[in-house]
Amino acid sequence: MEPVQQEISNRVLTIPNLLSLVRLLLLPVFFVLLVRYENNVSAFIILVVASITDLVDGFIARATGTVTRLGKMLDPLIDRIFIIVGVIAIFMAGRIPLWIMVVLLGRDACMFVLAVYQRKKFQRDFSVVFIGKVTTALLMTGFCLLVLYWPVVPGANIMELSFLPGWGASPAPLGLWPLYLGVICSLITAGIYFYQGTRPESGDGLAKALMAHKGPHLSHPTASASQKDRLRYASDLKKGKRNKEQ
């Protein structure tokens, strides 16, 4: 059974798009509250509200049939901006080591370059992977707990390294642990996207490029098919001719 395709419109003023705009406007408020005034509770509330709007806007768009091209562009863009601003603010508040900020910002910079390359060379965007959603959930959970700076739990007492808070004996905020997992998942996701973005065929494109063999009929390989697929097509074609001669 073929999946139902969601109609995408060119509308601008929709509730999901307005929620995305609200999420964007909350960013400077969050940054000032955390970095300038060190108001953990207020900054935490703003971050939670922004996270809720991120969940709600997609649900509303699908439920009401108001998926728009602007929304599909804005939603992931604002998500990345939120993570960038969030990690910078938390670092400036002295709650994470420098390397975490460098890894996350460097990863996003590489993904941006790769997305531009993929769009120009293959005329396609990244296909969302499940681990990418897990990464965002882990990072946002870690950010929220670090902004609130509660609870603080005993250290794991595994190794004493200044750039790995929480691994030694000293107490550390619980939010560091989902953040560590989020960093690992973000690197795995980056690897998947790199593989996806540098191949002529990926995901659905690969399936379309492969030849469909249905009984005596052989379909021509598409323009995006690899040399290997074309050779396979030629081989199958020869086999078909031999079978007819016999």
Per-residue pLDDT tens over the stretch 142-186: 999 999 999 999 999 999 999 999 999 999 999 999 999 999 999
15-205 belongs to which CATH class? Answer: mainly alpha
Q: Find all residues with CB under 8 Å of 147, minimum gap 6, and list them.
A: 34, 40, 43, 44, 47, 90, 93, 175
29 vs 1: which has the higher pLDDT: 29
Using a CB cutoff of 8 Å and minimum separation of 24, what contacts does 38-46 make?
Answer: 38/93, 40/147, 40/148, 40/149, 40/150, 41/148, 43/89, 43/147, 44/144, 44/147, 44/148
Is residue 15 pLDDT above 70, yes or no?
A: yes
Is residue 6 pLDDT above 70, yes or no?
A: no
Per-residue pLDDT tens over the stretch 173-222: 999 999 999 999 999 999 998 998 888 765 444 444 433 444 444 444 44
Specify the pTM: 0.76
Using a CB cutoff of 8 Å and minimum separation of 24, what contacts does 202-207 make?
Answer: 202/127, 203/127, 204/127, 205/122, 205/124
Kindly list the domain boundaries of the chain, sorted by start residue: 15-205, 207-245
The whole-angstrom separation of Cα 197 and Cα 208 is 17
Q: Given CA atoms 63, 69, 72, 77 in this order, what sign does their dihedral have?
A: negative
Per-residue pLDDT tens over the stretch 61-102: 888 888 898 888 888 888 889 889 999 999 999 999 999 999
Per-residue model confidence (pLDDT) at position 226: 53
